[in-house]
Amino acid sequence: MGKKKDSVSSLGKHLLKERKKDLSKHLYKTNRHVLDLEEAKNATSITETTTLEEFLSTAEMANI
């Protein structure tokens, strides 16, 4: 019975470790996207009068 408990415990630890890796990758991608948005925003002056077409063109140039 003790051996089964240990294997369940190690499986749980393994699953938590994998989930942590997945979350870390997602967080990195999210942070990268935010930085890309900031870069695009700083590359051009986005004001209240900026048209949607101008904004999308800028975003497309920044590959976001």
Cβ count within 10 A of residue 16: 10
Q: With a threshold of 0.75, does the pTM exceed it?
A: no
Q: What is the pLDDT of residue 34?
A: 87
Burial class (CB in 10 A: 0-12, 13-18, 19+), 55: middle
Q: What is the pLDDT of residues 16-58, one digit of tens each?
A: 999 999 999 999 989 888 888 888 777 766 566 667 787 777 7
